[in-house]
Structure 1
Amino acid sequence: MSKRSKSKASANSSTAVVPTEDQNIIDIDVASEMEHSFLEYAYSVIYSRALPDARDGLKPVQRRILYMMNQMGLTPDKGHVKSARVVGEVMGKLHPHGDSAIYDAMVRLAQDFNLRLPLVDGHGNFGSVDDGPAAARYTEARMSQAAVAMTADLAEDTVDFEPNYDNQMQQPTVLPAAFPNLLVNGAAGIAVGMATNMAPHNLGEVIAAARHLLEHPEADTKALMKFVPGPDLPSGARIVGLDGIKEAYETGRGRFTMRATVNVEQVSARRTGLVVTELPYGVGPERIIDRLKIAVNAKKVVGIADVVDLTDRHNGMQLVIELKAGFNPQAVLAQLYKHTPLEENFGMNNVALVDGQPQTLGLKDLLSVYVDHRLTVVRRRTAHRLGKRKDRLHLVEGLLLALVDIDEVIEIIRTSDDASAARQRLMMVFDLTEIQANHILELRLRQLTKFSRIDLETERDDLLAAIEALEKILGSDAVLRETVSNELAEMAEKFNDPRRTKLVKSEELAPAVTASSSKADRAAAASALLVPDDPCWVVLSASGRLLRTKDQTPLTGQGRRRRHDVYTSVVATTARGEVGALTDTGRIIRLNVVEIPALQEATGTPAMTDGVKVSDFITLQRGEKIIAMVPLNRVLALGTRNGVVKRVRADDWPLNQDEFEAITLKDGDTVVGAAASPEDDDQLVFVTESGQLLRFAAELVRPQGRSGGGIAGMKLVDNDQVLSFSVAPAAELDESVVVTVTKTEDGMLDASPTAKVTTLEEFAAKGRNTQGVRAHRFLRGEIALELAWAGPHPLASTTGGVARALPQEHSERDASGIMLDSAIGVIGRGASPVLPSQDADQG
């Protein structure tokens, strides 16, 4: 056959030609060669790279890193060394692969967000969930205490050794592993045709299960799960649904769902937010932010206003997802769980090497392999220590024999021609073995003292006791198991920490909107996204804190008074309604009720510390202050310092303006009070600084448009000014009172402020634009009123919200006040069984 024909035939066949040493050409089947080569490659990947050993839970590269760090003496009590130095030692002596692969493996051993119990103590930037580490030349490392426990007793023949890649050194085939590392730290790897993905667990729980298995080898998975209920992830978070965990523990394969730990908080004065403090295992905040942006742009997630990552080393994980006003946080959270990695699945695939073969292992199998390994390690270590102590006892007994007649020993040595002759004579005279005779010949003269004999006898007794204890361990399986169990207990005491991951059987969430949802489901989900438009109260305390309640349960007193229980305004509205904040300049700022922080308690008197400072919630001009919270759907009455009164209908408020004027004020005039006045027989009450009070029916004030300047309400004389303007509802007229508090002249040491409480009915109704009647008789040193208020159920406090007592008895209209025990800063409405009519239209 010609060369051309031979080439054509070779091209059309499934064989290849290779030259041999003698240049003969032989035919090889390509399919057979590929199969053989691939199997060798697959075995190499499975056994030497990708899968951990079920005994110590380490892949070969990880085991070599820890062994080499142990050989280098990089213990926790020594300083850190450059990571590049460790990588170089491992690569040059044990692991002839790329330095990047070795460094990547070492970095993972140092990352506390990957391992439940890190084995490398890293110094420097070892990366985060989202970012990689710095280069090996910049970071430093040493062994952690856990790594010391993994490599302990290596020198005591506890494990087998094998040659390294060039037969120049020996390396361990497995580490002694003083704790169940595979279950504690988990593992992940992709081999050829198989992979492993094992979740980390709590060390204390795993050791408790291993100790139970040592004592009860027949225990089943159900019994072991009483100690190990589920994984304990380094990142914490929650595991929802336990069926997949049980399946994985039974069969070695299963799936469970991880959910981030999220709290609903008031992140700013106007916004509620979802604060993420723990993420699913393997998920970082940057990944959450990226996926969230995609979901928002695709309209899969709605209600998100902003995302801020506040994570740092001091405060830990803190990802703040701000919500738009009016959206139900739980419903938005359900969308986030569906469309972002705030919820992730973890597929457990417990594949590990057992006797060099990959196997899928359940919980009992994993613990059994480790327990058997640990029993072997302790048995071999005990045998090694027993041999060492027996050898030492042999020498000690020889020394004691020689010391009985030390003079003859010396004489034998001095009269012998050489060491060999001395050895033979010593063996013959004292009946010693060759080993004992050699040891005596090597002794220094200073050791042949009286004290040496005492020390040797003490050492002999100690050796005999130790040998007895070691033989007891080797002679009894029960004692051996007890020894292993006690050592595991020591590991648990040293390294155990509280569980981080919370296990939840199930969790109900509001429905999430999806593209495949039916029209009815989408409508239900869209409705669930929004805060329900339930009736509620908007409350402004006299100390300047603002909140809304959960419902319109009457604000009844609940035992002892608390801070901020004095209310300047209580407005009946709904959660998705609107209210106005009226300032002393006559400006009304429109507010969405849903933006106001909600009370954390279901019912009862609001704890106003749950609210927010109104000055933080509303932007005010210099010198401007909030007078009252007012409804925008009812007739509003307001009074000014110069005695002007005005009523405005709800229809006069503009619909599309966030700010507008409620009254046109003259120069120097300010608003001093305002409240809803829907009924014509509501009583409008002015109180001046000089102690004059005027009340008249609301029907005397015809409502004006919002641009109106009001009408004369009270006639003021002698430069007097209005101190207080109030509305006493007609329904509560018989419960309404007038409270007045005086102020004293500066420098009057013997004068103290007084207060007086008088029923409103004591003051006869007068006509509009009159001077009214005297409401308080001043004592010596009192120059004017400091505070005045009219309405039902009064309470007093300091400006900081601390309760102060008012006189309990009602005084006559023209009486003087009662001296106060402590200063009063504000007066307002307290808890009462009846508030503004709940039958009124809600805003």
Structure 2
Amino acid sequence: MKTAYIDYSMSVIVGRALPDVRDGFKPVHRRVLFGMNELGNTHNKPYKKSARIVGDVMGKYHPHGDASVYDTMVRMAQPWSLRYMLIDGQGNFGSIDGDSPAAMRYTEVRLQKIAEAMLEDLDKDTVDFTLNFDDTLEEPVVLPTRIPNLLANGASGIAVGMATNIMPHNLTELVEGLAAMIDDRNITIDELIKHVKAPDFPTGGIIYGFEGVKLGFETGRGRVVVRGKIMSETSKTGKEKLIIYELPYQVNKAVLHQKIAQLVNDKVIEGISDVRDESDREGMRLVIDLKREAIPNVIINQLYKYSELQTSYGINNVVLVKGRPKVLNLKELLEEFLEFRHEVVIRRTKYQLREAEKKAHILQGYLIALDHLDEVIALIRNSTTPEVAREGLMTNFELSEIQSKAILELRLQRLTGMERDKIRDEYDEIMKFIGHLKDILADEGLRMQIIKDELEDVKKRFGDERKTEIQYLAAEMRIEDIIAEEDVVITISHLGYIKRTSAYDFRQQKRGGRGAIGGKTRDEDFIEHLFVASTHHTMLFFTEKGRLFWMKVYEIPEGEKSGKGRAIQNLITLPSDDKIRAIIDIKDLGDTEFINNHYIVLCTRNGIIKKTLLEEFSRPRQNGVNAITINEGDQLLEAKLTNGNSEIMMAIKSGRAIRFPEATVRDTGRGAIGVRGIEVDNDKDEVVGMICVDKEDKTRTVLVVSEKGYGKRTDIDDYRITNRGGKGVKTISVTDKTGPLIAILDVTEHNDLMITCKSGITIRMAVGDIREAGRATQGVRLIRMDDSDEIAAVARLDKEEEIVAAIEGEEGIITETETETNDTNTATEEAVEPEPEA
């Protein structure tokens, strides 16, 4: 029994369950593809019945049940099973819901182009052949594949005493990794990971966390957690619903549907009113209707926790290397493939050289015969039999038997002048080719370049974009090594949609222009926050109810300049009755010196001000923290980062502003209420903004903007310092023409200004174009607007150079800049008598 079981287990390990490291196939896959190729069942020929292929493969090469062969074929034709399908199927091949395929008598198949690339050069002695089960035919031991199939499509199998589970990867990334390895044979796994980033599944999804993947790359054993992709939609009636549109690898959609319904019935997940499958030919769409009080982000996290929407896979790279099972890491797997390709190129070149030399030998015989044409013809005419003629040719002209035979079989038309020239040209050409083949065999660098060129061709023909996203955990912050550091424009709309866009998508215009479309929004929505930050920074989000949330800039979804963005509730656990009011950009929350010497200053609509050490806000929590206690009827308005040596200015809607030293506000803990900053008539007035300016900074001026598009810059010293909590002094003359005050900013001449209207129009202008004016003046027109339009947000861009030069005729521009002589656009300063200071 012991001997018999060991024999059986070795048979299963070597001949059934484990893939070969060279072509990535188990015997059944290899035999199906070889059998189809032998039948001429290629991509450019008609489909053949699956039953015919199954019978042929079973009868010639694979003496097992027909189900094992057909199931293998079916899987190679399913787009949700293989990252790169190898068989082109016609008919019912099952579904992601677990439906069975039609019987093999109904379905038809043929090879995909990519599978033919795996069989290329099979007839050029590139691989060894072995006898089939009954010693009547030969089959290849391995396929001479140009595709790194083992990692591209992955493999899984259970042998005796061991199992394998290799994840699929992106072919483009694998080719780039192999090219990098050819250039540097001592490349490290960390350097390889820059090319082969992570597994890439046919069903897409999100890889959640990178540590397990990295461990798998380094050791051959690891764990990858995959989440389905889910987004939220709002119906016309205002109801929220979640849409699952991509699943983790090998998750059955119908089973997941049932599982979610069961979780709702068992009250494990509350807040879901209905679950239905709306998938069609266009794609997957599993719809989850939410109850009105449900928070989408909470439901999403519960789905990940309790259902197969989050699934983990064990990476276990057990493969056959020279017939023995081994566990290999990423570098070793790629090295084995390169070594195999190198062997294939050598064997192919030797075969081509043998064939070329045979042909050259015959052509050489032709040339000798052509040089002595009359004697050859006379000898043949005078010979009684072909054997006598052959002997005569060999004796008289020192030809070999092969050459003599070829001359005797030569057609008469080859003796014409043109044909004789062709033979000479063909001989010269083949001698050049022989020289090239000998160069290849003599130079390893040349062979490696051939492998690299063939891989580039594979990438060009079959490479594609990644399907699976990679989401790094907070603890894996070395993601900064992978994420390019660049400036991005972040926009948040009034209804809470957020996105980041490259800063280079916005052009600069002159003051008074009409602007460009900065974001498409719904009729009742408009862009409220707009600012520039680096992708490596951390954003602090303060809500109107005084809560604080954290997010890395690169975690904010990227969107088109004209796109709406993603609902912020999907990104942070924000209640539906709260909204983001202020955002602060912090370079590094781990810098202890910085966080212990800087403060966050908060102000509310009712004129309350509060100062807290940044260190209190330096420990991110998933569900946020309380940043300030807000009184009833009040809202948080602004949050600013200071160094403790600033002067604070607060402005109110009616056109007044106050200036006082930051030192007059003592710092308090996170839960404190704060103190009065400016006196506000709560019935008809409110604070519109706050700025904090360093005492030593003499380059900054105060910019104020009114609702109807008027604004001006004023020297900060025009505002005298008063006690905190006073009424302040006049900062702009508020009239019906200007509309109430809407924003106060501190700016320098090197800044740019981004003004966004409620209609979605955005204009960018240089602050230097806005001239300084007195404290009590009306200012100049900054932007021309329709009568029904109003300014929604004003943002300062901290750039010392233009991000984008103005481009004439750029798409999205509504009207070119008006000339300065246009009355509606001319900078008008209307002197207003200053009111007595409060």
| C-alpha contact (below 8 Å) 1:566/1:830 kept by paired residues | no
Where does structure 2 lack aligned partners over 5 or more consecutive residues? 476-493, 499-513, 526-543, 546-572, 584-680, 686-738, 741-758, 762-785, 795-838
Q: What is the rounded CA distance, in whole Å, between the counterparts of 2:111 and 2:69 in structure 1?
A: 15
Decide which structure has the larger Cα Rg and report it. 1
Is 1:302 the equivalent of 2:270? Answer: yes
SS of the residue 1:110 aligns to = coil
Is 1:215 the equivalent of 2:183? Answer: yes
Per the alignment, residue 343 of structure 1 pairs with 310
Per the alignment, residue 23 of structure 2 pairs with 56
Is 1:173 the equivalent of 2:148? Answer: no
Q: Which residue type is aligned with residue 62 of structure 1?
A: H
Per the alignment, residue 47 of structure 1 pairs with 14
2:226 to 258, 269, 275: 258
Per the alignment, residue 439 of structure 1 pairs with 406
SS of the residue 1:211 aligns to = helix
Cα 1:418/1:89, change in 2 over 3 Å:
same
Is 1:129 the equivalent of 2:91? Answer: no
| C-alpha contact (below 8 Å) 2:247/2:309 kept by paired residues | yes
| C-alpha contact (below 8 Å) 1:274/1:320 kept by paired residues | yes
Query: Offset of 1:294 from its aligned partner?
Result: 2.4
Q: What is the rounded CA distance, in whole Å, between the counterparts of 2:362 and 2:793 in structure 1?
A: 96
Per the alignment, residue 127 of structure 2 pairs with 159
Query: Offset of 1:603 from its aligned partner?
Result: 8.3
Is 1:190 the equivalent of 2:158? Answer: yes
1:133-148 pair list within 5 angstroms: 133-148=101-116
1:116 to 69, 72, 83: 83
Cα 1:564/1:169, change in 2 over 3 Å:
closer
Q: What is the rounded CA distance, in whole Å, between the counterparts of 1:139 and 1:481 in structure 2?
A: 42
Q: What is the rounded CA distance, in whole Å, between the counterparts of 2:281 and 2:102 in structure 1?
A: 17
Q: What is the rounded CA distance, in whole Å, between the counterparts of 2:259 and 2:171 in structure 1?
A: 33
Percentage identity across paired residues of the two chains: 41
Give me the TM-score of the superposition, normalised by structure 2: 0.59
Per the alignment, residue 505 of structure 2 pairs with none
Q: What is the rounded CA distance, in whole Å, between the counterparts of 2:340 and 2:361 in structure 1?
A: 32
Q: Which residue type is aligned with residue 230 of structure 2?
A: V
Q: What is the rounded CA distance, in whole Å, between the counterparts of 2:793 and 2:194 in structure 1?
A: 53
| C-alpha contact (below 8 Å) 2:261/2:275 kept by paired residues | no
Cα 1:96/1:267, change in 2 over 3 Å:
farther
Q: What is the rounded CA distance, in whole Å, between the counterparts of 2:457 and 2:319 in structure 1?
A: 26
Cα 1:137/1:461, change in 2 over 3 Å:
same
Q: Which residue type is aligned with residue 372 of structure 1?
A: E
Per the alignment, residue 372 of structure 1 pairs with 339
| C-alpha contact (below 8 Å) 2:230/2:244 kept by paired residues | yes
SS of the residue 1:154 aligns to = coil
Query: Offset of 1:325 from its aligned partner?
Result: 1.2
Q: Which residue type is aligned with residue 352 of structure 1?
A: V
Cα 1:225/1:128, change in 2 over 3 Å:
same
1:241-320 pair list within 5 angstroms: 241-267=209-235, 269-314=237-282, 316-320=283-287
| C-alpha contact (below 8 Å) 1:112/1:118 kept by paired residues | yes
Cα 1:311/1:403, change in 2 over 3 Å:
same
| C-alpha contact (below 8 Å) 1:238/1:503 kept by paired residues | yes
Query: Offset of 1:219 from its aligned partner?
Result: 2.0
2:463 to 483, 496, 513: 496
Query: Offset of 1:802 from its aligned partner?
Result: 12
| C-alpha contact (below 8 Å) 2:496/2:579 kept by paired residues | no
Query: Offset of 1:215 from its aligned partner?
Result: 2.8
Is 1:360 the equivalent of 2:327? Answer: yes
SS of the residue 2:244 aligns to = strand
Where does structure 1 lack aligned partners over 5 or more consecutive residues? 1-33, 509-538, 540-546, 551-558, 568-573, 576-593, 605-728, 734-791, 794-800, 804-822, 834-843
Per the alignment, residue 469 of structure 1 pairs with 436
Cα 1:439/1:333, change in 2 over 3 Å:
same
| C-alpha contact (below 8 Å) 1:45/1:192 kept by paired residues | yes
Query: Offset of 1:218 from its aligned partner?
Result: 2.2
Q: Which residue type is aligned with residue 385 of structure 1?
A: Q
Q: Deviations over 1:400-443 (max 9, x none)?
A: 11011211111101111211211111112111111101110111
Query: Offset of 1:601 from its aligned partner?
Result: 8.0
2:356 to 389, 403, 419: 389
1:49-128 pair list within 5 angstroms: 49-128=16-95
Q: What is the rounded CA distance, in whole Å, between the counterparts of 1:730 and 1:600 in structure 2?
A: 21
SS of the residue 2:224 aligns to = strand
How many pairs align?
531
Query: Offset of 1:200 from its aligned partner?
Result: 0.4
Query: Offset of 1:333 from its aligned partner?
Result: 1.1
Q: What is the rounded CA distance, in whole Å, between the counterparts of 2:496 and 2:342 in structure 1?
A: 65
Query: Offset of 1:364 from its aligned partner?
Result: 1.1
Q: What is the rounded CA distance, in whole Å, between the counterparts of 1:832 and 1:462 in structure 2?
A: 74
Q: Deviations over 1:444-469 (max 9, x none)?
A: 22221111111111101110111111
Cα 1:602/1:406, change in 2 over 3 Å:
farther
Cα 1:279/1:398, change in 2 over 3 Å:
same
Q: 4+ residue stretches of structure 1 with deviation over 4 A?
A: 547-550, 559-567, 596-604, 729-733, 827-833
SS of the residue 2:165 aligns to = strand
1:426 to 370, 389, 393: 393
Q: What is the rounded CA distance, in whole Å, between the counterparts of 2:523 and 2:220 in structure 1?
A: 59
